[in-house]
Structure 1
């Protein structure tokens, strides 16, 4: 099967939802599919230089190919006429296109080109059809949907949602299409023995608890963005400190597209009682990210809306129990697996769940083991790729 994966950018600056296309492509290739990623050189919307990569020629990586195209004429909107021209010229060489993102000009145009060339395509909305997300620039999105996205949704072989809840709440603008519900995959790290944790190459302030008398380490690792619920989390942690509960809070992440908000969060911590209990690491990736996950005792993400939550799944794969809001759309799976604690999107509920989680090391260990088991069974890339290829085949043979 010859597959296209089309995504506006795979730069790290845009976070996990874009990066997951790399993991999916590698896993599909390992199952025998021929995969080509079409993307742009976009690397941020605030003046960053484009990705320094070869242009419009195949870059071989992990068994699949990537073709990068320059952003032109609208660099800010990750738009590329060259990408669309290439797609139009080569569409008949592929069986199916998996297009990632709606309300992004290059993805919108790619779906239109695919439809004109009779290339079946799947759309993955990345949470853009969630009512909470649609409130942003609401009127502009209504016009955009009426002009473009409704027809793209109606013409798609399927809409790819990463959870039942994401599919349930998504607005289709009156269009009818099939739903493909499959979670995203994550790399499953090899667990380290406790002695290795103790020697992990991390600052002492964020190493795992080699001494059970040390306070537990609570990790927030995600983009620092208003939707992530930090306005709930910081007051909740301040309340727990005032009650005498001890913990170390690790804030990992950044937001190069909104450095002003990131600075607000840092300033808030520096001027609060949390200052002496907090380590701010900035953005982490690679081995540093893996070791940071391995060092944590509890992961927290009280987002206002999250269609999947890749960071949550990564934490679970590392054997860390999680505290998430009921707007992280895999919360029901977490609850059923007893892999963490679920709160509402309010400070009192979050404070209560964190209090319970932080007070019992034994329960954290039990739920962390459940989290890893669930991730192994449901979020490994091999399992996702097998299910995805089967879904592709079924969609291509459907009436």
Structure 2
């Protein structure tokens, strides 16, 4: 079976949802699927240099091919006319296309081409059909959605949602759709840094609970709740150290605002802000954290939550992170409402309960093994491809 994965960019700057395509492609290739990723060389929307990659030719990686195309004529919107021309010429050589991200001009146009070329295609919205997300630039999205995305939704073989909650709340422009509910996957690391090494490098003592927020610094992530909740913990006299790991090159003003807010508050002496992390530092933080926190307003999956659980770190998440039913069922951490007091209480319980943290960390690891391993997810995706092609 020959499969196209179409995604606006796989640059690290765009976070986990884009990177997920690489993990899926690796797993599919291991299962014998012929996978080609079509993407652009976009590396940010605020003046960053594009990715330094070969353009227009297949690049082999982990058993699959990636073809990068230049952003042209609109770099700002990750649009690529060469990508679309290539797809129009080669669509009939493939059995199915998996298009990642709605409301992105290149994937919108790619789905349209697939429809006209009679190539079955699956849409993965990445949370863009969430009513909360549709409120952003509401008027523009109403026009764009009805004119461009509605026909693509009507013509798709299926929509790929990553949680039941995402499927339940997503707006489909009045179209009846076939839904696939298949979670995202994570790799369980074979090798981890020496335990405690990363916390020591940041000057955090062994007896101080390390609370980790690792995600994009974005208003939807609930940092307003986290800042208020942790300030309440300080006033109660609890001992902890918060590590804020992440950045937002797309919205540096908001990132600077959060940094300033922390530095001007009582949190300043209890917080380390690392910026974007990857590699050994990322793994070390995930492993050394006593609790991972993500109090998002809405999150169609929350890949960083799964990455934390993969190294046996329990999580404190809001019900806005749509894998919360799994976390609650497995007792893999603590689930709270979007409320400062509820979040503060959950964090206090976690900080004061080391044995419970250890137990819930083991449960978290089991959850990842049972439901979020790439091999299991690849099998579900292949079954869907075979039914829909």
Compute the TM-score of the two structures, normalised by the length of structure 2: 0.98
Shift of 1:279: 1.2
Counterparts of 2:258 and 2:59 in 1: how far apart (Å)? 39
Counterparts of 2:381 and 2:79 in 1: how far apart (Å)? 27
Structure 2 residue 305 is the aligned partner of structure 1 residue 312: yes
| Matching of residues 66-215 of structure 1 within 5 Å | 66-190=66-190, 196-199=194-197, 203-206=201-204, 209=206, 214-215=207-208
Shift of 1:74: 0.9
Checking the alignment, whether the CA contact within 8 Å between 1:254 and 1:282 is kept in structure 2 is yes
| Equivalent position of 1:348 in the other structure | 341
Q: Tell me, what secondary structure is at the counterpart of 2:211?
A: strand
| Matching of residues 245-284 of structure 1 within 5 Å | 245-284=238-277
Counterparts of 1:365 and 1:201 in 2: how far apart (Å)? 18
| Equivalent position of 1:43 in the other structure | 43
Query: Is the deviation greater in 84-93 or in 342-351?
Result: 342-351
The CA deviation string for residues 300-354 of structure 1, in whole angstroms up to 9 with x for no partner, is 0000000000000101111111010001000011000100111111211111111
Counterparts of 1:38 and 1:255 in 2: how far apart (Å)? 25
Query: Is the deviation greater in 118-127 or in 376-385?
Result: 376-385
Q: Which runs of at least 4 in structure 1 moved beyond 3 Å after TM superposition?
A: 190-193, 198-202
Q: Tell me, what secondary structure is at the counterpart of 1:369?
A: helix
Query: Is the deviation greater in 256-265 or in 299-308?
Result: 256-265
| Equivalent position of 2:318 in the other structure | 325
Instruction: Assess, with a 3 A threshold, how the Cα gap between structure 1 residues 81 and 204 changes in structure 2: closer, same or farther.
Output: closer
| Matching of residues 231-250 of structure 1 within 5 Å | 231-250=224-243
Q: Tell me, what secondary structure is at the counterpart of 1:246?
A: coil
Structure 2 residue 6 is the aligned partner of structure 1 residue 9: no
Structure 2 residue 329 is the aligned partner of structure 1 residue 336: yes
Return the match for 1:226 from 216, 219, 228. Answer: 219
Checking the alignment, whether the CA contact within 8 Å between 2:198 and 2:281 is kept in structure 1 is no
Shift of 1:133: 0.1
Instruction: Assess, with a 3 A threshold, how the Cα gap between structure 1 residues 204 and 77 changes in structure 2: closer, same or farther.
Output: closer
The runs of 5 or more residues in structure 2 that have no matched partner are none
Counterparts of 1:116 and 1:395 in 2: how far apart (Å)? 17
Checking the alignment, whether the CA contact within 8 Å between 1:59 and 1:66 is kept in structure 2 is yes
Counterparts of 1:255 and 1:146 in 2: how far apart (Å)? 30
Checking the alignment, whether the CA contact within 8 Å between 2:157 and 2:388 is kept in structure 1 is yes
Counterparts of 1:356 and 1:275 in 2: how far apart (Å)? 22
The number of residue pairs the alignment matches comes to: 389
Counterparts of 1:258 and 1:151 in 2: how far apart (Å)? 31
The runs of 5 or more residues in structure 1 that have no matched partner are none
Q: CA RMSD in A?
A: 1.3
Instruction: Assess, with a 3 A threshold, how the Cα gap between structure 1 residues 358 and 201 changes in structure 2: closer, same or farther.
Output: closer
Counterparts of 2:51 and 2:89 in 1: how far apart (Å)? 24
Structure 2 residue 276 is the aligned partner of structure 1 residue 302: no
Q: Tell me, what secondary structure is at the counterpart of 1:390?
A: helix
The CA deviation string for residues 265-324 of structure 1, in whole angstroms up to 9 with x for no partner, is 111111111111111111001122111111111000000000000000101111111010
